[in-house]
Structure 1
Amino acid sequence: MVKVEFLGPIAKENIEINVKNLKELKEVLSKDDEIKKWLENSAVAVNDKLTTTLDVELKDGDRVAILPPVCGG
């Protein structure tokens, strides 16, 4: 199982899901309209390392963080 964390203003509880890679995870998450709107603008980190590609294989115990853009002052 892969743990998915939704950070910042994304109003979703963390989930655990059985997926093989980030591409498959995106397909699953895109089925939720609230999450889907964040996916295009958010950064993604796997085990605390940012990635820019969906070609990342995931294994049991990995942690994926969805990091939405934020503004601050």
Structure 2
Amino acid sequence: MVKVEFLGPMSYIPSMELEVNTLQELKEVLGKDSALQQWLEISAVAVNDEIVENLSHPLHNGDKIALLPPVCGG
């Protein structure tokens, strides 16, 4: 299982533990939630605190995935 955390404006969504093998599978599972669909297209993804862009990136038991929405500040 991997743990998925939602940061920033998505932090109201509780963390999840899911059985997925790649980021593509994770995107498909999370995309079923209409509240998350808009965020999936614009958020960066970190696996074990490292930004990953390749959706075929393999996931392993115990990995921590964070969805990082764009932010602005000054």
TM above 0.5, yes or no, is: yes
What stretches of structure 1 of length at least 5 have no aligned partner?
none
What stretches of structure 2 of length at least 5 have no aligned partner?
none
Q: Provide the alpha-carbon RMSD of the alignment.
A: 0.7
2:66 partner letter: A
Consecutive aligned runs of 4 or more in structure 1 exceeding 2 Å deviation: none
| CA distance in structure 1 between the partners assigned to 2:42 and 2:17 by the alignment | 22
1:9-66 Cα shifts (integer Å, max 9, x gaps): 0131110000011000000000001111101000000000001110110010000000
Is 1:70 matched with 2:71? yes
Residue 52 of structure 2 corresponds to which residue in structure 1? 51
Residue 29 of structure 1 corresponds to which residue in structure 2? 30
Is 1:3 matched with 2:3? yes
Identity %, equivalent residues: 58
| CA distance in structure 1 between the partners assigned to 2:34 and 2:13 by the alignment | 12
Task: Give the number of equivalent residue pairs.
Answer: 73
2:26 partner letter: L
TM-score, normalising length from structure 2? 0.95
TM-score, normalising length from structure 1? 0.96
